Chain A
Amino acid sequence: MRTGFQEELDRVEGLLQEEGALVLRSLRGAVNAVQENDHELSDEVIAFDDEVDRRYVQIEEGIQLLLARQTPVATDLRLVLAMLHINLHLERMADYCVTIAKLTKLAPEVDPNPRLLEGFEEMGSRAEEMIRVALDSFERRDLAGAESLVDLDELIDRANRRVVEQLLALGAEPELREYGLRMVLVSRALERIGDHAVDIGEQTAYLLTAEFREFTDASHPTPREA
């Protein structure tokens, strides 16, 4: 039994879960900031990204050492490769949170539209749920849980389309147009966070089944997705 090796695998996986918890905090901050047009909170979200990046680098270094010193094979190899990808997906999610915070600061101040705010709240909650499901199913090595992310993604995609429709209907005044343009990107960022959660689910599936497989294929959509 390679005790040191197992400890190192556990340590890196623990860091990954910590990184995931930081992303959840960042996401909540970004969604609150955009809903309340809170520039101070936006700055905090932007600064907080350094915390995520620190974990990201620690995980990268841990994986580099595992590969260099332990030559993992079979399940261990799949775990290391899955963690390498999940790390990247989490880091990208945090970047999207920063994007949302920056867009919040750039957007002109307009009267809040309650239905739009509800839309962002829904998308933010769905993205949070997806991150939780992605992290939990990875931790519990739960294939069905990982696969359930596809259905959750469909829900956040629909919410995204509703938000975009409302933004298109805002009106033609320059200020509203600029606001709408910024907020389309916010909606898009939340929707992309959901996609990265699905990608984490795919890594869990790879770890468990050893098959490289996309849950859904955007370039060959099934009738339901088309």
Chain B
Amino acid sequence: MSQVETMSESPAAPVTIGDVAVQQAPAAEAFDVRGRDVVFDVQDVTVSYDDDPAVSDVSMKIYKNLVTAIIGPSGCGKSTFIRCFNRMNDLIPSARVDGLIDYHGTDLYGSSVDPVEVRMRIGMVFQKPNPFPKSIYDNVAFGPRVLGMKDDLSGRVQRALEQAALWDEVKDRLKRNALSLSGGQQQRLCIARALAVEPEVILMDEPASSLDPIATTRIEDLMHGLKENYTIVIVTHNMQQAARVADMTAFFSVETAADGAARTGILVEYDSTKRIFTQPSDKRTEDYVTGRFG
């Protein structure tokens, strides 16, 4: 696996032409993950269904306030992997997670960890918008109510809708059924619902794949704004979407075991998005992003 990019050059020396000091252009935009807070430290994680590994031996760090994209062909285990971050795989009886997911120093799968609290801190948005058949307001208020966040509930709902860039479109019809919204609006409502409990991390599994290009752009713009306050991990099969929104990109692929029997997902390369899309270090990544495979 390639080293995460660590470019940080000393500022260029000032230049003068005659008496005029010339501001030198900064070196190409450096991207430095050193010193960034690590939210998840994933170590040798393997997820199996009925003892068949769906994704094997993944180690990577997810950094705070960045958008991290996971890309790869169908069957590479990217959705399985992202579901580890808020223990969604617990809901599948045959699923088993081995290895360590360290969340701020706590083993996410430790016996004392309450999965409900995990999902409060680590929200998730799915491929198809899945609002409850309730009012717009009740959808967003659902999480806070369940968790007993009663103070200033309507203020909390408004903030979440504002952060999800939906407030202006729905502020006059908060009592209307959420299912009356368009697909793109429903997806932003689901994002607002995730934001309402003020999580630290938002996981997005193909959040725009059922949306039209304009609704997709709105979700992408939203991610750009949200990363100031949240850490975002997104699974996408749309490589250009990863190139547009992500700071870091992980490429997963499918590998056939030596005996040829089992196929399992592996992490091939994890680096800054800039490098993945301009100068990937692994031939398999190059072949995938240039469309020569997968």
Q: Mark B274-288, 1 if CB is under 8 A from A, else 0.
A: 000111100000100
Q: Mark A63-89, 1 if CB is under 8 A from B, else 0.
A: 000000001111111100000000000
- What band does the interface of chain B fall in when counting residues whose beta carbon is under 8 Å from A? 10 to 19
Q: Mark B258-294, 1 if CB is under 8 A from A, else 0.
A: 0000000000000000000111100000100111110
Are B290 and A76 touching (Cβ within 8 A)? yes
Are B279 and A74 touching (Cβ within 8 A)? yes
Query: Which residues of chain A are within 8 angstroms of B279 by Cβ–Cβ distance?
Result: 74, 210
Query: Which residues of chain A are within 8 angstroms of B88 by Cβ–Cβ distance?
Result: none
Are A210 and B292 touching (Cβ within 8 A)? no
Are A1 and B292 touching (Cβ within 8 A)? yes
- Determine the distance from Cα of A143 to Cα of B240 in the docked complex, in whole angstroms: 30
Tell me the chain B residues, 186-214 only, with Cβ under 8 Å from chain A: none
Tell me the chain A residues, 172-226 only, with Cβ under 8 Å from chain B: 210, 212
Of the candidates B28, B240, B286, B293, which one forms a contact with A74 in the assembled complex, judged by CB atoms under 8 Å apart?
Answer: B286
Residue on A with the closest CB to B279? Answer: A210
Are B289 and A73 touching (Cβ within 8 A)? yes
Instruction: Say if the beta carbon of B243 comes within 8 Å of chain A.
Output: yes
Query: Which residues of chain A are within 8 angstroms of B277 by Cβ–Cβ distance?
Result: 73-74, 77
Query: Which residues of chain B are within 8 angstroms of A140 by Cβ–Cβ distance?
Result: none
Of the candidates A75, A210, A212, which one forms a contact with B290 in the assembled complex, judged by CB atoms under 8 Å apart?
Answer: A75
Shortest beta-carbon distance, B26 to chain A, in Å? 14
Query: Which residues of chain B are within 8 angstroms of A1 by Cβ–Cβ distance?
Result: 291-293
Query: Which residues of chain B are within 8 angstroms of A72 by Cβ–Cβ distance?
Result: 290
- Determine the distance from Cα of A73 to Cα of B280 in the docked complex, in whole angstroms: 10
Are B278 and A74 touching (Cβ within 8 A)? yes
Of the candidates B239, B278, B292, which one forms a contact with A77 in the assembled complex, judged by CB atoms under 8 Å apart?
Answer: B278
- Determine the distance from Cα of A73 to Cα of B273 in the docked complex, in whole angstroms: 11
Are A2 and B278 touching (Cβ within 8 A)? no
Query: Which residues of chain B are within 8 angstroms of A210 by Cβ–Cβ distance?
Result: 278-279
Query: Which residues of chain B are within 8 angstroms of A71 by Cβ–Cβ distance?
Result: 240
Of the candidates A5, A73, A76, A78, which one forms a contact with B243 in the assembled complex, judged by CB atoms under 8 Å apart?
Answer: A73
Of the candidates B28, B240, B280, B292, which one forms a contact with A2 in the assembled complex, judged by CB atoms under 8 Å apart?
Answer: B292
Are B278 and A73 touching (Cβ within 8 A)? yes
- Determine the distance from Cα of A83 to Cα of B86 in the docked complex, in whole angstroms: 47
- Determine the distance from Cα of A78 to Cα of B286 in the docked complex, in whole angstroms: 12
- Determine the distance from Cα of A69 to Cα of B293 in the docked complex, in whole angstroms: 19
Q: Mark B22-44, 1 if CB is under 8 A from A, else 0.
A: 00000010000000000000000
Query: Which residues of chain A are within 8 angstroms of B278 by Cβ–Cβ distance?
Result: 73-74, 77-78, 210
Shortest beta-carbon distance, B9 to chain A, in Å? 14
Query: Which residues of chain B are within 8 angstroms of A76 by Cβ–Cβ distance?
Result: 290
- 18 A–B contacts from the bound complex (CB under 8 Å): A1-B292, A1-B293, A2-B292, A73-B277, A73-B278, A73-B289, A73-B290, A74-B277, A74-B278, A74-B279, A74-B286, A74-B290, A75-B286, A75-B290, A76-B290, A77-B277, A77-B278, A78-B278
The 3 closest A-B pairs by CB, nearest first: A210-B279, A2-B291, A73-B277
A→B interface (CB under 8 Å) = 1-2, 5, 71-78, 210, 212
